[in-house]
Amino acid sequence: MTHPFLILQWLEETLHIHVGKHVMYAWFVMILLIALAFLASRSIKLVPNGWQNLMETVVSGIEGLITDTMGPKGMAYFPMLATFALFILVSNLIGLIPGFYPPTADLNTNAALALTVFVMTHVIGFKEHGISYLKHFMGPILALAPLIFIIEIIGHIARPLSLTLRLFGNMYGHEIVLMIFLMLVPFLLPVPMMLMGVLVALIQTFVFTLLAMIYIAGALEEAH
């Protein structure tokens, strides 16, 4: 634990729930996103303002990234990819608030996200190509197919590990650095670190979401 006091962990101990602080804060992020979606959509206007304007900007940005990375076919997977992006972004940002813990600073949360990407990539691949999807693992030369297959399997297994550790390392590392500065110099000096934390949160959200798009786009492509 890097925060000296966590609000939801205290609530968890008081209510004897025992699910883990990362689960409590993941639930909190989900409730926050549901509330934000409700606020943005309860009175939709032709000329957006307030929460609707914010959410339309975010949604448009994600749509543009999907189209540029995956092509028009990728829009079918917009709900899943947008959910990843929004959940990770909000999870990263709440860690900057005293008393709140980012779920993405825990290996369990990140592993769950990465494994979801891993499973859905291959589910989408088989849905798109059927059994022919296995050609993605064989390479262009039949004689080298057994060797290429092993290399491809190792590469695909490494993907969730890479996604998990990259997000965990950056978010947990920032948590530790921020708390060290807060303990040493509690006034003013931590402010630049918190601003850097916003940048880290945005970059890590972008990297995770972009890699998920690239993996799914690869599954949608025809094998060569």
Per-domain residue ranges of the chain: 7-220
Task: Provide the strand spans (E) within 101-204.
Answer: none
- What is the rounded CA–CA span in Å between residue 117 and residue 119? 6
125 and 133 Cβ atoms separated by less than 8 Å: yes
For the chain (224 residues), the mean pLDDT of every run of 10, in chain order, is: 60 72 90 88 72 83 92 91 95 86 92 96 93 86 85 93 93 78 66 80 94 93 72
- What is the rounded CA–CA span in Å between residue 136 and residue 132? 8
As given in the structure block, the two tokens for residue 44 are 């939709």
The pLDDT of residue 214 is: 95
The pLDDT of residue 188 is: 61
The pLDDT of residue 206 is: 95
Q: Give the burial class of 177: count Cβ atoms within 10 A of its Cβ; 0-12 exposed, 13-18 middle, 19 or more buried.
A: middle
- What is the rounded CA–CA span in Å between residue 138 and residue 202? 36
The pLDDT of residue 83 is: 94
The pLDDT of residue 221 is: 86
Question: pTM value?
Answer: 0.86
Q: How far is CA 176 from CA 22, 88, 201, in A?
A: 16, 19, 15
The pLDDT of residue 1 is: 43
